[in-house]
Amino acid sequence: MLVAYGREFVAPQPYPLKTLAAAAGMSISGTRSAYTSDEVAAVAERTGRRPVRSTTLEA
């Protein structure tokens, strides 16, 4: 969920995949696919924020 937050909820630009990959101990490609739309929804619910980047939660 932290990767989802870093990519979908941070503005004006999301954290770079390279930075998140290093922090998570993952590859860049692994980080790109490390979260699902369900996790984006869970972050939105827990934080009360709407994703900046994602179109998966459009109302």
Which residue's entry shows tokens 């739309």?
37
Tokens of 28: 């860049």
In angstroms, rounded to a whole number, what is the distance separating the alpha carbons of residues 40 and 43?
Answer: 5
User: Rounded to 5 degrees, what angle do the CA atoms 47, 38, 41 make?
Assistant: 25
- pLDDT digit string (tens) for 3-46? 999 999 999 999 999 999 999 999 999 999 999 999 999 999 99
In angstroms, rounded to a whole number, what is the distance separating the alpha carbons of residues 34 and 20?
Answer: 11
In angstroms, rounded to a whole number, what is the distance separating the alpha carbons of residues 43 and 29?
Answer: 21
Structure confidence at residue 59 (pLDDT): 46
Amino acid at residue number 16 = P
Q: Model-level pTM?
A: 0.81
